């Protein structure tokens, strides 16, 4: 008997795994944050519950955007440009009521004066913390993007943003020339040399684990699309200082990645971009992720419901949540975990 390259690869990469990490994610409309002409609502945070009410935080901006080539430095370049972070509430996870702005852009001259967006929420020690992306005016192709933290005593805010970012890009590449082109470099930087994005914050192992997406100075395409990877920075105190892990990057893929705690480790759903997109992975130590399942796509930019109690089965951290759809104007929808297909395999397989 001879083994083909494919068989050897499947064995080496441990493709033979049970169905307990396999699922689909049907999405459905919600009431209250539906598509609205002229308004973007996108990139929902995780959903938290306080007393009998669910809370979600999301990027909200108004009006069309024109990209970077208009020649007008004050023109809105992206749906997440000139954005603020808003909060909505719900009693049942299906009907949502938009409440108020949770975090505004900073005063002119600050690092967050142009846009604050793509937030995550963490309930910790009786307070509420938002971590989010920031951009300083003007917003150009070569703008460096940071991550900041804001705190409030109430889930409705107002949240007070930090005076400095808590995470900045490594900035260790070298631009080639003065053209505003982020692909033109004399030297490529580290995976997070240009932008740090999509923060997710956990109280884990008695420390604060801040996961984030990096973008490189001189990003190139690679096997699975865009070269987008995730890093980790760890702090003793929630406000920082955050120290980047020496294992970074901790993923080799994933644009809109979503993480949850399970069984003392960290699970991750890597959606868009990269060789390992559309996989669910698990790291017993929060750092060394292995692929557990390959799933058929999934919700865009998911923000799962984070129960206060520890989860009891692998996919519980993705049981339901909100994600976004981009039909001209970004709007929020609900996703629910379906293990229907996995359950069918389970009945037939030896993995019971």
Binding region for ligand AAL (CB under 6 A): 43, 80, 117-118, 133, 197-198, 213, 255-256, 301
Minimum distance, C-beta of residue 133 to ligand AAL, in the bound complex (Å):
6
Nearest residue relative to ligand AAL (C-beta): 118
Minimum distance, C-beta of residue 197 to ligand AAL, in the bound complex (Å):
5
**CA 332, 310, 290, 233 torsion-angle sign:** positive
What is the arrangement of strands in the sheet containing 195-204, beginning at the earlier edge strand? 195-204, 207-215, 229-235, 243-244
Minimum distance, C-beta of residue 118 to ligand AAL, in the bound complex (Å):
4
**CA 41/CA 59 separation, integer angstroms:** 6
For ligand AAL, the closer CB: 35 or 207: 35
Minimum distance, C-beta of residue 326 to ligand AAL, in the bound complex (Å):
10
**CA 197/CA 213 separation, integer angstroms:** 5
The 3-class SS string of 21-83 reads HCCECCEEECECCCCECCEEEECCCCEEEECCEEEEEEEEEECCCCCCCCCCCCCCCCCCCCC
For ligand AAL, the closer CB: 188 or 226: 226
For 146-174, the DSSP string reads: EEEEEEESSTT---EE-SS-SB-----SE
Minimum distance, C-beta of residue 141 to ligand AAL, in the bound complex (Å):
13
Minimum distance, C-beta of residue 56 to ligand AAL, in the bound complex (Å):
16
Pairing mode, strands 221-222 and 225-226: antiparallel
For ligand AAL, the closer CB: 137 or 256: 256
For ligand AAL, the closer CB: 119 or 318: 119
Q: What are phi and psi of 10, to 5 degrees?
A: -60, -35
**CA 338/CA 302 separation, integer angstroms:** 15
Residue 320 burial class via C-beta count within 10 angstroms: exposed 0-12, middle 13-18, buried 19 and up: middle
**CA 227/CA 219 separation, integer angstroms:** 6
The token duo for 43 is: 């990139």
For ligand AAL, the closer CB: 78 or 222: 78
For ligand AAL, the closer CB: 22 or 139: 139
For ligand AAL, the closer CB: 219 or 314: 219
260, 266 contact by CB (below 8 A): yes
Q: What are phi and psi of 106, to 5 degrees?
A: -75, 165
For ligand AAL, the closer CB: 55 or 80: 80
Minimum distance, C-beta of residue 138 to ligand AAL, in the bound complex (Å):
16
**CA 91/CA 53 separation, integer angstroms:** 5
For ligand AAL, the closer CB: 90 or 118: 118
Minimum distance, C-beta of residue 63 to ligand AAL, in the bound complex (Å):
16
Minimum distance, C-beta of residue 18 to ligand AAL, in the bound complex (Å):
31
């Amino acid at each position: 008997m001879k083994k083909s390259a494919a068989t050897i690869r499947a064995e080496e990469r441990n493709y033979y795994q049970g169905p307990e990490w396999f699922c689909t994610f049907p999405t459905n409309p919600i009431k209250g944050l539906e598509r609205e002409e002229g308004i973007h609502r996108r990139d929902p945070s995780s959903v938290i519950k306080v007393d009998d009410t669910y809370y979600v935080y999301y990027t909200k901006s108004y009006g069309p955007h024109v990209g970077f080539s208009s020649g007008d430095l004050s023109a809105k370049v992206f749906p997440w440009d000139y954005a603020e972070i808003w909060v909505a509430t719900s009693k049942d996870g299906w009907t949502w009521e938009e409440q108020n702005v949770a975090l505004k852009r900073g005063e002119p001259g600050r690092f967050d004066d142009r846009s604050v967006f793509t937030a995550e929420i963490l309930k910790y020690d009786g307070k509420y913390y938002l971590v989010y992306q920031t951009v300083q005016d003007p917003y150009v192709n070569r703008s460096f993007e940071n991550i900041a933290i804001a705190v409030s005593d109430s889930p409705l805010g107002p949240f007070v943003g930090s005076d400095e970012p808590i995470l900045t890009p490594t900035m260790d590449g070298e631009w080639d020339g003065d053209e505003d082109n982020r692909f033109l470099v004399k030297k490529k930087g580290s995976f997070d040399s240009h932008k740090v994005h999509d923060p997710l914050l956990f109280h884990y192992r008695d420390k604060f684990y801040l996961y984030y997406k990096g973008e490189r100075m001189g990003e190139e395409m690679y096997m699975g699309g865009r070269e987008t990877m995730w890093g980790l920075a760890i702090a003793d105190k929630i406000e920082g200082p955050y120290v980047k892990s020496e294992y970074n990057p901790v993923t080799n893929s994933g644009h809109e990645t979503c993480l949850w705690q399970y069984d003392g480790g960290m699970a991750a759903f890597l959606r868009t971009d990269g060789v390992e997109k559309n996989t669910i992975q698990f790291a017993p130590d929060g750092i060394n992720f292995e692929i557990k399942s390959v799933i058929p796509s999934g919700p865009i930019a998911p923000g799962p419901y984070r129960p206060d109690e520890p989860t009891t089965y692998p996919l519980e951290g993705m049981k339901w949540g909100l994600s976004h759809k981009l039909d001209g104007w970004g709007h929020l929808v609900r996703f629910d975990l379906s293990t229907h297909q996995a359950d069918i395999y389970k009945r037939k397989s030896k993995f019971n």
